Amino acid sequence: MKKAVITAVGHYVPDNIITNKYFEERMDTTDEWITTRTGIRERRYAPDDMATSDMGVRAIEDCLKMRGIDKDEIDFIICATVTPDHVFPATACLIQHKLGMKHPKIWGFDISAACSGFIFALETARRLIESGGSKKAIVVGADKMTAIVDPLDRATCIIFGDGAGAVLLEASDDDTVGIIDSVLHVDGSGLPHLHMKAGGSVMPASHETVDQRLHYAYQEGQHVFKAAVKSMADATSDVMQRNNLTGNDVAWLVPHQANLRIIEATANRMELDIDRVMINIQRYGNTTAGTIPICLSEWQKEGKIKYGDNMIVAAFGGGFTYGAMFLKWGIK
Ligand code: COA
């Protein structure tokens, strides 16, 4: 069986930096409250005329440049997002078209697993590659959270930002690197605590839903916080036990960037020093499906990751969805 190996990474974040001061000037909050509760100091906001697919396209271009291959070598694209350009068609289709990728060779689809979207998409792409049906896949996590976050909700708007990251996943005969294992879960009982109330088939858009601000992300912060801490730590510990790993064996924990305190709790449970945890939440906030590939791309570009490094990638998000993945880094 072929191995599925990440062979290139890329990312894109918009230029517009929104500091905590921006919120201090607009609502009853402080830089100190935001920093101590979340670890976030700034995030990026995409311009009005930039959609999720546009950020995804830029991240993929950055990724393909690293590997130096032509876009037409790609067999399929999986786009993880909860802020698709449209309810339908899939954002993967729009990315394919905007990149000018060869039709009819390429196929693809979107995955909706909120903040776990990137690892759900990566696991799906891994299985498709391991099956031997495809050789090269793009997995892109992209979210324009400013499209669905209520700018008047001080407990939510301070957390989220816009951004995208992408990886190239390739079939390889080298079985010393690549994606080794994953544990993924869904728990739909999480619905009441994190969701968007209107705009779906349960409550189609109407004047009333707009007037009542029901097209924004609704979040019960404390409940989500507790569920995230437990779920990310449990999934991480499961995948480590299954693969006989201790904290000493792990070069990097790559956690979804939701809240610095959630990240620290996960690292503690793994008995991992914080300097072996990828953390950039202070600069970008929570970009949902974008957080993990943006981290991977930044760390790779800064030369901090070595070929063969053991990594645990962990996420938690709306659904609830959560999981962890064990991989060995395959970029030289
Ligand atoms: N500035 C100042 N005060 C704020 C505030 C803000 N930006 N946002 C909320 N508050 C207030 C609340 O109104 C509340 O006031 P009250 O006690 O008078 O009612 C108080 O702060 C405490 O609120 P609480 O919700 O208990 O705060 P918290 O410590 O749980 O922090 C979150 C709130 C949202 C930062 C935190 O719960 C969190 O990060 N949750 C996880 C969210 C997440 O990860 N979502 C994505 C899932 S992947």
Q: Summarize the confidence of residues 137-144 as an average pLDDT.
A: 99
Q: Summarize the confidence of residues 163-175 as an average pLDDT.
A: 97
User: Mutate which of 120, 225, 231, 266 to test ligand 1's pocket (most atoms within 8 Å of Cβ)?
Assistant: 225
Instruction: Look at phi and psi of residue 132 and say left if phi exceeds 0, alpha if psi is from -120 to 50, else beta.
Output: left
Residues with CB under 6 A from ligand 1: 29, 33-34, 37-38, 115, 154-155, 158, 219, 221-222, 224-225, 228, 258-259, 286, 316-317
The reply to whether 11 and 63 lie within a common domain is yes
The reply to whether 38 and 71 lie within a common domain is yes
* Mean pLDDT taken over the chain: 97
Q: What pLDDT was estimated at residue 300?
A: 98
Q: What pLDDT was estimated at residue 267?
A: 94
Q: What pLDDT was estimated at residue 181?
A: 98
Residue nearest to atom 3 of ligand 1 (CA): 29
The reply to whether 215 and 314 lie within a common domain is yes
Residue type for 193, please?
Answer: H
Q: Summarize the confidence of residues 30-55 as an average pLDDT.
A: 98
Q: Summarize the confidence of residues 141-153 as an average pLDDT.
A: 98
**Domain end marker among 157, 176, 195:** 176
The reply to whether 14 and 94 lie within a common domain is yes
Which uninterrupted H or E stretch holds 284?
A: helix 281-284
**Domain end marker among 176, 192, 220:** 176
Total tally of structural domains belonging to the chain: 2
Residue 155 Cα to ligand 1 middle (Å): 5
For residue 284, the domain's CATH number is 3.40.47.10
Residue 32 Cα to ligand 1 middle (Å): 13
Q: Summarize the confidence of residues 282-301 as an average pLDDT.
A: 98
Residues 6+ apart with CB under 8 A from 108: 76, 77, 78, 79, 90, 92, 93, 95, 96, 138
Q: Summarize the confidence of residues 252-274 as an average pLDDT.
A: 95
Of the candidates 115, 157, 259, 295, the residue annotated as catalytic is 115
The reply to whether 239 and 286 lie within a common domain is yes
Q: How confident is the model at residue 49 (pLDDT cuts 50, 70, 90)?
A: very high
The reply to whether 157 and 187 lie within a common domain is no
Residue nearest to atom 33 of ligand 1 (CA): 221
Q: What pLDDT was estimated at residue 315?
A: 98
In tens, the pLDDT along 307-325 reads: 999 999 999 999 999 999 9
Residue 225 Cα to ligand 1 middle (Å): 9
103, pLDDT greater than 90: no
**Domain end marker among 147, 176, 205:** 176
Considering the entire predicted model, what is its pTM?
0.98
Active site residue 243: no
Give the domain range for residue 105.
3-176
Q: How confident is the model at residue 143 (pLDDT cuts 50, 70, 90)?
A: very high
Residue nearest to atom 42 of ligand 1 (CA): 221
The reply to whether 25 and 44 lie within a common domain is yes
The reply to whether 154 and 238 lie within a common domain is no
The reply to whether 101 and 223 lie within a common domain is no
Residue nearest to atom 15 of ligand 1 (CA): 155
204, pLDDT greater than 90: yes
Of the candidates 63, 157, 256, 295, the residue annotated as catalytic is 256
The reply to whether 263 and 142 lie within a common domain is no
Return the ligand 1 atom nearest residue 154 CA: 7
The reply to whether 164 and 231 lie within a common domain is no
The reply to whether 155 and 208 lie within a common domain is no
Residue 34 Cα to ligand 1 middle (Å): 9
Query: What DSSP state is assigned to residue 210?
Result: H
Residue 186 CA, chain-centre distance (Å), reads: 16
Q: How confident is the model at residue 102 (pLDDT cuts 50, 70, 90)?
A: confident
